[in-house]
Each structure stands twice: as structure tokens, then as C-alpha cells.
């Protein structure tokens, strides 16, 4: 008989942390905490395997499940000393969901189960607290009604709100017992009229229905959305934990709260927590009430506060990671109800990992593996410009202040519901989602938004936690914001703001401002630097930057680039002071005119290279010779259209024949350069071969610049790179031409600069004959944008027409232009490296496509033995960390795979 149920209680549990997949995160950690001797109410967990069986058989409990539940319940009753349904001393339980990965608030939980018209009286008599008993019963009916019977929560809540208004009280605890009893009757009536039957009175029947509903909540819309966003497989399912209730709503010595062992926004080692006296847990986590600061607990119950901190520290050391805990205090006694590894911002992830190493809790390897490389983007996210913000505040544009729940700066158009957020974001608009409270139902809208603002709820509410995990700037509990959903406006700071107006959200300070505020690049924090210095120690793969200007080069260096893997010389051609000369060069009818134009470009190019070489003193710089087809420089589509129009106008007016002739000549030239498939056309080394004077000028500019800075004491290492070679002949000819010019320039300059000449491998044929290409080429750099384009035969500029369909139908797992296709393009890379190194064993090999900063692609580059990856300056930290992770993983895998002696 399969074991479907695992008990915990009185210091002993059948389960433990290692049974996460079977018991879910919540169930396994409750078991683990029980075994650690931490105060946890007794209970039992129904496994995900039971869930799977239930789903396989068309939502039927598998054989034996209910018998096992019955005996676990009996044990729970003994541990608790109470009996479910006992009219004098009733046991009440919670029924909680829990998947193997935490999905805060995405599935359901029912509290206070076991109450009915008889047990509520018993509970009141036994505790001597009538108010408490009715508070539990009204909560139970509302939660059960919502989760099990499918009646919207608001249907109940509106009666509570109306009652509070009627009584003239602000908070729930001020509502007296008799009123709560009447409210409970109203709730039962709602259930009766909505479902056509009485509220179920039999506790065992309640339990059976609740377990079923929690199982089913795996397929709720919000849970499904969350899984989609976080790539969680649908077949994992949820476990169900049933446990004895402890009551935070028993009066002023009771309460409930949520805490993080460190600040999830910054990683700062402080206890980051919120607390509500005389309340139950869902009030905090569902953002129903805005809780108090934890200092409130410290004041009220200092010993409990100390005990809580001790347990928090103990849990963190036990799990070796920052924890997110739920606790409840019942009449001065503390209970833990949940612990899990806390969701955190990227900045916090870095800081926590580094601090834990300093505290000797984890080693550097573990710390490096703890941070997701792509999340580093967030650490590099801009914040608001302090001065611009100060001015905005002075100008009266501060709309509201709330609690800073997730750091970062966001600017966008205000929307008031998740659907619109999704719709507008799809249309390419940047939106800020503004809601009364943070509800997990809004998950898709939160994901689509740049930032999130709520007028109610605390920083530890589920939605705030989810926003931190997503890296979305978020402000909660901005109480001054009054939303009118029908009119699609909100009022704050004495202004009315309509949907679609721009607001700025500072998730780091909790401010919401009208209009957009300028953003600034962040500085690197100390822990970020330290983590990356460890990454550098472990990685063997080099990291370079793609940079076209001295500014980019400096930025790249600051981020830790060990050289430049790609300078795109054509970017220099587009500068306003040069484009005219470039056009002159292209338009030239004869060689002499062309040479004259080319000569005019030389000093510009030389200066560019001087600046870059200086910035990269001591590090190698790869310069690619001209690559794009020439027509790109002649006229953009708008200019072309204007020329045609001007020509037609002059013709119609019969004016300015000289201008007409000039336009004719220009248009004819443009037409003659037009190609059907420019990406497969007259570009790269093909240009260098048909117009050798252009490459000659560029090579000369590189060498003159190198010799000039070398003389000034700069250590320079130019690598001249020929683009788009596909045949041995192309390689040989361009190599020889380059060598001739470079040597001549060197002699003229009298410099002693060493340089190399290599090639891009981006035509599939080049990868296949790499052994022969390497006879001349002294280094390789895989241009994976073109290589992907030509391997798939997908035009990069047109792929958007069909790629979404392909992704949706699962024909492709990823966009191959962002995530390297290891199977196909990767195979060509493997072949290219292997054959190239057959000819030159020490061949330097890099990659300079967009893939050089994508973690999975970087890992691949490490595995195939590349020398370095090159990516845009901002991606460098990501590449450094990815490279370290790749090495650590490869080593761990080979250690595991190694035969034991």
C-alpha cells in the first residue's frame, strides 16, 4: 500500500527536508522544523503522489488515502489533546497547499476548519472568549466559501466593511462578539443562497471538501500563470498539509506575522518583519490589513521577540540561506508555521550570498551558484536621478508615499487592472499597475508592468514578495492613493490622475510621482564586486566586451572586461561629421576620387582607435574591418523617399536642372547598390576584395594609432579581424593585403607593435574548412548572429514574422538569436574549433554575437573550450558569473562521474 500521509508532531516527524518533492516545500520544512525541536503545531501532510493519483483518475481520492488520513487525524487529535468536531473542546485545523517550489499565495489555504454551529459555542465556552470564537467562525465560512464553494471573497468582505463603517470602527479587532455572531449568520445565508444548500456542518465532510479544493487549486488561473512565468512543470502538483490551528486572534497577547531573516530588498542582515496583534495569518499575507512594524512586537512582548530572533538565526544556519518565516503567537506562546528560502531582489541575492561566506555559513562555490546571472541585470538597473526627483517634489509632483516593497525605478502609464496591463504591454507600452490591494490574481499584469503600486497591504504580503522575486519596483500601502475603478482615475497629492497618464515609481524609497523622472546608472556595490572577484578566480573562460567607442571601452573595463572582442568600425562611419565623406567615397565614379575620399576618412578612424587603445591599455583589442553592405550608408528609407519626392517636384516645376541631374545620379547609384538579400550580398571581406582601398585605409589607421599610443607608453595589442570569410582564397587574399599594409605602416611609423590577423567564423562553410582557414588566420571569433542566420536560413530582420508562432507551437524552445542553438549552430562551432586547432593548437577562439552575455550560451562556450566570450559592456558581469558557474558545474559533474577509487 502506497504511503500517502506523513505525520509530524510532539518533536517527531516522519518526513524531512529531503522529501521536498513528495511533501511539498511547506510540508517537508514543517517536518524538518518539528525534528529540530522548533515549536510547530502538530499535523500531517498528504503527498504530491496522492495528488498525482487523484488527477490521473479523474479527481478521485486514490484507494487507501482516506483511511490513512483518518489514522493521521487520530494521531493529530492525540498530539493536540483535542478532537475534531468535539462540541466542548473542538480541534480546529488548517488545510494548506504546498508545492515543491514556493508559489506565494498562488494556491489555497483554509483556516479554522472544524467549526460549526455546535463547536463554535463550545469554543466560546472553553476559551471564555466569545468574540474569538465568532471571529474564527466568520473567517472560516468566508475562506471555505471562497476556496471550496467558489464564492468570491468580496461577497463576504463587503459585509464586514459595511459593518465596521456602521459601528464607526477602523480595525477588525474592534468589532464586538455579538456583531461577529450576526455577521457569521449573514455569511451562512450568503452560502445558502449562492449554493442552494446549508453550510456543511460535519467537520469530516468539511475536511474532505477542503483537501479536494486545495488539490484543485493547482489548476487555478493564478497558479497556472505563475507556473508559466516561472517555468514550473504542471505535473509537479501540490501536497496538502493539515495541521492544528494556533490562534493569533485570542486577544492582545496573541498575534501573527511574517519575517525575513535578512532584508529581501537589499540583503542587509536585519530581521525584516511585520506583525499584527490579535489577528490571523491571512490578514498579513493576503494584504487585507496593513500590518505594524515588528518593533511593535518587540515593545509588546520582548521575550517572544528574542525567541523569534533566536529561532530565525537557527533556521538560517540550518538551511544555510536567508529564510522567510510565518509565525503566530497564541497567548504569549510562539509557534512557527512555515519556513522557506526567501525570495529576494538581485541586489539582495548578491549581498546575502557574499555575507554568508563571510559568516562561514557557505563556501565561495555555493555563493557563486546562488545568484542567477541574468538577475544581475537588475542590480545594474538604473535608479532615479536624485536631483531630478528633488525638483519634481519641489514642483509638487509627489503624489504619494507608501512602503518600499521592491527596489528599483519604473516609469510608465498608469493602468488599474491586470488585463489592461497585459494588453497595453503587448502593444509595446510601458505600464504601471496600480491596485487597491496586492492580489495574486494580478500575476500576469504584474509581470507585464514596469512597476506596481498598491494603496493597501504590507511589505511581506504575497504580492510584494512576488514583485521582489520578479525584480519589479513595487510600492505598497500607499494609503493616500484613492482609486476610482469605474472612472479609471486615482486621486493623490491633491491631483486626479487618469489612466494612461505617466507616473514614476521609486520602489527603493516608496515614492510615487507624477510624470517621468530621469534615471541614472547605478554604481557597483561592494558585495557585487566581491562576488565577481570570486567568479574571476574560478572561471577559465575569458570575458571581453563589444565596444565601438572609447566611452564604451572605459565602461567595459569598469565592468571587468579583459579586452575588446569586437570593435565595429562601421559604427564610426555613421557619425555626422563622417557620413558625408563616406557617401563621397561610395559615390566616387573613378578610383582617384574614391582614394581621395578614403584618405579623408583616415584621420577620423585613427583618432577613434587611439582613444580605444588608450582606454584598453594593456589589453587586447579586436578590430573588425568594414562589414555591412555599402547601401546602408547611402540613404535611409526616409532620405531615399525625400530624394524621389524632391526629384519629382523639381521636374514638375521644371526647375534647377543641375540639382535634378545630381539627384538622378545619386538615385541611380543607390538603385545600382540595391540587393535582393543584402545580408547575403556584397559585404564583409567581399567588399574588402572588390574595394581594397577601404580595408587598406582601415588597416593603416589601426597601425598608425597603435604605433602612436605605443610611443606614449600604452601597451597595445591590436587584433585585425576580417569579417565573413567563407573560402580559403578569401582568407589568403585579405590576409596578404592586410599584412602588406600593416607592415608598411609599421616601418613608416618606426613602431614596434605586435599585431595579429584573424577572422570571424560566421559563414557555415568557414566552420567546416576551419583547418584550412587557420593556415592564415591567427585567431577565430565566432560571429554567432550571422552564423545563426545562415545556419537556420532565417533572416534576422524578418524572423519576427514567424518566430512567435514557432515558439508558441514548441517548434523552437528559444529565439536562436538570443539563446545559442547548441544542437545545430553549436555543432558548427565545435567543428570549427576542433578543425581550427588541428592546424593551430594554440588558436585563440572567441565569440562576439549577442550570445556572449547569455548564461546558457556562455556555459556552452566554456564547455567547447573557447578562449573568451565577448558581449556588450553591461552584460559583462553576467558573463563573468556565468563563466564561473559553468566551470564549477562542469567540475562537480566530472567529480560525480569519476570512478571512485
Q: Which x/- pattern, by CB under 5 A, does the window 743-782 give for Mg ion?
A: -------------------x--------------------
**Closest residue by Cα to residue 207 from 241, 230, 179:** 241
3-class secondary structure per residue, 176-195: CHHHHHHHHHHHHHHHHHHH
Number of neighbours of residue 706 by Cβ within 10 angstroms: 29
Contact status: 109 vs ligand ADP (CB under 6 A): yes
User: Least distance from C-beta 152 to ligand ADP, angstroms?
Assistant: 17
Strands 451-454 and 109-113: unpaired
Q: Which of residues 312-371 bind Mg ion (CB under 5 A)?
A: 338
Selected range binding ligand ADP among 242-250, 497-505, 597-605, 613-621, rule: CB under 6 A = 242-250
User: Least distance from C-beta 109 to ligand ADP, angstroms?
Assistant: 4
Contact status: 773 vs ligand ADP (CB under 6 A): no
Looking up cell 490574481 gives 441
Contact status: 783 vs Mg ion (CB under 5 A): yes
Residue 16 CB-density burial (10 A; 0-12 exposed, 13-18 middle, 19+ buried) = middle
User: Least distance from C-beta 211 to Mg ion, angstroms?
Assistant: 18
Pick from ligand ADP, Mg ion, none: which does 240 bind, CB < 5 to 8 A by kind?
A: none
User: Least distance from C-beta 627 to Mg ion, angstroms?
Assistant: 6
CA atoms within 13 A on the CB side of 411: 14
Is residue 337 within 8 Å of 280, Cβ to Cβ? no
Q: How far apart are CA 515 and CA 750, in angstroms?
A: 59
Helix, strand or coil, per DSSP, at residue 473: coil
User: Using CA atoms in the order 537, 539, 542, 544, what is the torsion angle rounded to 10 degrees?
Assistant: -80
User: Least distance from C-beta 725 to ligand ADP, angstroms?
Assistant: 58
462 catalytic residue (yes or no): yes
Is residue 489 within 8 Å of 500, Cβ to Cβ? no
Q: Residue 521 has what DSSP assignment?
A: P
Pick from ligand ADP, Mg ion, none: which does 282 bind, CB < 5 to 8 A by kind?
A: ligand ADP
Selected range binding ligand ADP among 239-247, 287-295, 448-456, 780-788, rule: CB under 6 A = 239-247
**Which residue, 245 or 612, is less far from ligand ADP as judged by CB?**
245
Among 13, 28, 84, 243, the residue binding ligand ADP under the rule CB under 6 A is 243
Q: Which x/- pattern, by CB under 6 A, does the window 5-44 give for ligand ADP?
A: ------------------------------------x---
Q: Which of residues 784-803 bind Mg ion (CB under 5 A)?
A: 786
Pick from Mg ion, ligand ADP, none: which does 316 bind, CB < 5 to 8 A by kind?
A: none
Q: Which x/- pattern, by CB under 5 A, does the window 94-133 give for Mg ion?
A: ----------------------------------------
**Closest residue by Cα to residue 777 from 829, 837, 709:** 837
User: Least distance from C-beta 103 to Mg ion, angstroms?
Assistant: 10
Contact status: 283 vs Mg ion (CB under 5 A): no
Indicate the helix (H) or strand (E) that contains 489.
strand 489-492
Strands 238-244 and 43-46: antiparallel
Selected range binding ligand ADP among 143-151, 275-283, 474-482, 589-597, rule: CB under 6 A = 275-283
Q: Annotated catalytic residue: which of 159, 365, 381, 462?
A: 462
Cα angle for residues 260, 263, 268 (degrees, 5° grid)? 135
Contact status: 32 vs Mg ion (CB under 5 A): no
Is residue 265 within 8 Å of 378, Cβ to Cβ? no
**Which residue, 329 or 582, is less far from ligand ADP as judged by CB?**
329
3-class secondary structure per residue, 394-454: HCCCEEEECEEEECCEEEEEEECCHHHHHHHHHCCCCEEEEECCCCHHHHHHHHHCCEEEE
**Which residue, 30 or 707, is less far from Mg ion as judged by CB?**
30
- Cβ partners under 8 Å of residue 480, min gap 6: 399, 400, 401, 455, 492, 493
Q: How far apart are CA 640 and CA 668, in angstroms?
A: 11
861 catalytic residue (yes or no): no
Among 111, 312, 701, 722, the residue binding ligand ADP under the rule CB under 6 A is 111
Q: Annotated catalytic residue: which of 474, 685, 707, 848?
A: 848
**Closest residue by Cα to residue 628 from 586, 592, 671, 565:** 586
User: Least distance from C-beta 114 to ligand ADP, angstroms?
Assistant: 11
User: Least distance from C-beta 70 to ligand ADP, angstroms?
Assistant: 19
Pick from ligand ADP, Mg ion, none: which does 598 bind, CB < 5 to 8 A by kind?
A: none
Selected range binding ligand ADP among 46-54, 66-74, 104-112, 129-137, rule: CB under 6 A = 104-112
Pick from ligand ADP, Mg ion, none: which does 105 bind, CB < 5 to 8 A by kind?
A: ligand ADP
Contact status: 190 vs ligand ADP (CB under 6 A): no
Contact status: 105 vs ligand ADP (CB under 6 A): yes
Q: How far apart are CA 592 and CA 675, in angstroms?
A: 26
Contact status: 511 vs Mg ion (CB under 5 A): no
**Closest residue by Cα to residue 778 from 822, 734, 713, 715:** 734
Pick from ligand ADP, Mg ion, none: which does 455 bind, CB < 5 to 8 A by kind?
A: none
Helix, strand or coil, per DSSP, at residue 891: helix
Among 326, 499, 506, 570, the residue binding ligand ADP under the rule CB under 6 A is 326
- Cβ partners under 8 Å of residue 331, min gap 6: 250, 251, 253, 254
**Which residue, 123 or 761, is less far from Mg ion as judged by CB?**
761
Is residue 47 within 8 Å of 13, Cβ to Cβ? no
Contact status: 112 vs ligand ADP (CB under 6 A): no
Contact status: 278 vs ligand ADP (CB under 6 A): no
Contact status: 835 vs ligand ADP (CB under 6 A): no
Residues in contact with Mg ion by CB under 5 A are 338, 762, 783, 786
Which residues participate in catalysis according to the annotation?
462, 848
Residues in contact with ligand ADP by CB under 6 A are 41, 94, 96, 105, 109, 111, 243, 245-246, 280-282, 285, 326, 328, 337-338
Amino acid at each position: 500500500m502506497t504511503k500517502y500521509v506523513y505525520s509530524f508532531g510532539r518533536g517527531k516527524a516522519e518526513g524531512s527536508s529531503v522529501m521536498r518533492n513528495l511533501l511539498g516545500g511547506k510540508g517537508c520544512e514543517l517536518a524538518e522544523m518539528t525534528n529540530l525541536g522548533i515549536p510547530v503545531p502538530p499535523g500531517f501532510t498528504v503527498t504530491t503522489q496522492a495528488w498525482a493519483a487523484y488527477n490521473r483518475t479523474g479527481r478521485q481520492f486514490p484507494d487507501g488515502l482516506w483511511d490513512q488520513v483518518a489514522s493521521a487525524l487520530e494521531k493529530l487529535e492525540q498530539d493536540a489533546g483535542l478532537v475534531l468536531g468535539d462540541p466542548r473542546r473542538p480541534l480546529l485545523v488548517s488545510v494548506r497547499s504546498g508545492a515543491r517550489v514556493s508559489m506565494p499565495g498562488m494556491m489555497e489555504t483554509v483556516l479554522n476548519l472544524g467549526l460549526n454551529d455546535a463547536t463554535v459555542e463550545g469554543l466560546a465556552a472553553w476559551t471564555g472568549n466569545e468574540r474569538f470564537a465568532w471571529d474564527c467562525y466568520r473567517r472560516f465560512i468566508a475562506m471555505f466559501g471562497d476556496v471550496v464553494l467558489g464564492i468570491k471573497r468580496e461577497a463576504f468582505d463587503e459585509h464586514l466593511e459595511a459593518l465596521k463603517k456602521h459601528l464607526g470602527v477602523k480595525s477588525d479587532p474592534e468589532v464586538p462578539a455579538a456583531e461577529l455572531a450576526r455577521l457569521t449568520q449573514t455569511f451562512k445565508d450568503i452560502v445558502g443562497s449562492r449554493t442552494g444548500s446549508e453550510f456543511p456542518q460535519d467537520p469530516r465532510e468539511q475536511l474532505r471538501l477542503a483537501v479536494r479544493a486545495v488539490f484543485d487549486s493547482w489548476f487555478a488561473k493564478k497558479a497556472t500563470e505563475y507556473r508559466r512565468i516561472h517555468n514550473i512543470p504542471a505535473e509537479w502538483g501540490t501536497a496538502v498539509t493539515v495541521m492544528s490551528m494556533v490562534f493569533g486572534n485570542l486577544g492582545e497577547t496573541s498575534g501573527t506575522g511574517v519575517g525575513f531573516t535578512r532584508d529581501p530588498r537589499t540583503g542587509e542582515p536585519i530581521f525584516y518583519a511585520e506583525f499584527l496583534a490579535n489577528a490571523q495569518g491571512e490578514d498579513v499575507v493576503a494584504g487585507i490589513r496593513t500590518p505594524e512594524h515588528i518593533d511593535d512586537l518587540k515593545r509588546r512582548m520582548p521575550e517572544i521577540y528574542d525567541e523569534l530572533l533566536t529561532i530565525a538565526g537557527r533556521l538560517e544556519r540550518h538551511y544555510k540561506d536567508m529564510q522567510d518565516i510565518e509565525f503566530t503567537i497564541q497567548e504569549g506562546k510562539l509557534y512557527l508555521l512555515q519556513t522557506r528560502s526567501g525570495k529576494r531582489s538581485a541586489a539582495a541575492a548578491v549581498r546575502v550570498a557574499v555575507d554568508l561566506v563571510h559568516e562561514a555559513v557557505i563556501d565561495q562555490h555555493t555563493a557563486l551558484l546562488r545568484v542567477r546571472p541574468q538577475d544581475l541585470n537588475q542590480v545594474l538597473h538604473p535608479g532615479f536621478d536624485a536631483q531630478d526627483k528633488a525638483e519634481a517634489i519641489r514642483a509638487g509632483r509627489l503624489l504619494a508615499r507608501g512602503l518600499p516593497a521592491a527596489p528599483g525605478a519604473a516609469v510608465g502609464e498608469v493602468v488599474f487592472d491586470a488585463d489592461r496591463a497585459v494588453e497595453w504591454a503587448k502593444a509595446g507600452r510601458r505600464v504601471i499597475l496600480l491596485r487597491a490591494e496586492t492580489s495574486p490574481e494580478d500575476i500576469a499584469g504584474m509581470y507585464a508592468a514596469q512597476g506596481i503600486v498598491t494603496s493597501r497591504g504590507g511589505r511581506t504580503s504575497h504580492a510584494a514578495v512576488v514583485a521582489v522575486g520578479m525584480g519589479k519596483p513595487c510600492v505598497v500601502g500607499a494609503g493616500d492613493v484613492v482609486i476610482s475603478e469605474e472612472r479609471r482615475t486615482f486621486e493623490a497629492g491633491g491631483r486626479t490622475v487618469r489612466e494612461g497618464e505617466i507616473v514614476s515609481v521609486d520602489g527603493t524609497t516608496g515614492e510615487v510621482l507624477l510624470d517621468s523622472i530621469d534615471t541614472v546608472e547605478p554604481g557597483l556595490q561592494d558585495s557585487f564586486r566581491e562576488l565577481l572577484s570570486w567568479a574571476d578566480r574560478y572561471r577559465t573562460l575569458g570575458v571581453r566586451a563589444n565596444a565601438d567607442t572609447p566611452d564604451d571601452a572605459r565602461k567595459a573595463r569598469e565592468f571587468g572586461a579583459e579586452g575588446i572582442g569586437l570593435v565595429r568600425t562601421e559604427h564610426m562611419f555613421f557619425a555626422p561629421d563622417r557620413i558625408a565623406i563616406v557617401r563621397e567615397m561610395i559615390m566616387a565614379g573613378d578610383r582617384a576620387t574614391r582614394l581621395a575620399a578614403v584618405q579623408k576618412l583616415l584621420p577620423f578612424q585613427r583618432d577613434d582607435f587611439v582613444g580605444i587603445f588608450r582606454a584598453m591599455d594593456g589589453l587586447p583589442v579586436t578590430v573588425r574591418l568594414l562589414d555591412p553592405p555599402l547601401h546602408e550608408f547611402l540613404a535611409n528609407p526616409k532620405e531615399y523617399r525625400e530624394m524621389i519626392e524632391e526629384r519629382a517636384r523639381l521636374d514638375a516645376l521644371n526647375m534647377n536642372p543641375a540639382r535634378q541631374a545630381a539627384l538622378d545620379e545619386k538615385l541611380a547609384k543607390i538603385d545600382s547598390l540595391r540587393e535582393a538579400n543584402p545580408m547575403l550580398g556584397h559585404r564583409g571581406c567581399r567588399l574588402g576584395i572588390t574595394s581594397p582601398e577601404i580595408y587598406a585605409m582601415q588597416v593603416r589607421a589601426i597601425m598608425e594609432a597603435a604605433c602612436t599610443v605605443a610611443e606614449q607608453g600604452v601597451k597595445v595589442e591590436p587584433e585585425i579581424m576580417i569579417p565573413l570569410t567563407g573560402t580559403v582564397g578569401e582568407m589568403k587574399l585579405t590576409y596578404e593585403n592586410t599584412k602588406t599594409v600593416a607592415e608598411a605602416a609599421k616601418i613608416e611609423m618606426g613602431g614596434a607593435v605586435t599585431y595579429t590577423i584573424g577572422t570571424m567564423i560566421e559563414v557555415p562553410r568557414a566552420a567546416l574548412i576551419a583547418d584550412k582557414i587557420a593556415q592564415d588566420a591567427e585567431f577565430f571569433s565566432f560571429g554567432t548572429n550571422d552564423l545563426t542566420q545562415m545556419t537556420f536560413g532565417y533572416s534576422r530582420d524578418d524572423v519576427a514574422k514567424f518566430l512567435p508562432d514557432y515558439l508558441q507551437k514548441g517548434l523552437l524552445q528559444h529565439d536562436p538569436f538570443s539563446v545559442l542553438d547548441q544542437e545545430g549552430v553549436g555543432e558548427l562551432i565545435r567543428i570549427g574549433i576542433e578543425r581550427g586547432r588541428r592546424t593551430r593548437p594554440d588558436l585563440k577562439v572567441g565569440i562576439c554575437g549577442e550570445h556572449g552575455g547569455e548564461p546558457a550560451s556562455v556555459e556552452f562556450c566554456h564547455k567547447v573550450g573557447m578562449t573568451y566570450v565577448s558581449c556588450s559592456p553591461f552584460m559583462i558581469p553576467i558573463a563573468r558569473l556565468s563563466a564561473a558557474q559553468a566551470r564549477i558545474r562542469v567540475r562537480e559533474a566530472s567529480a560525480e562521474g569519476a570512478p571512485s577509487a
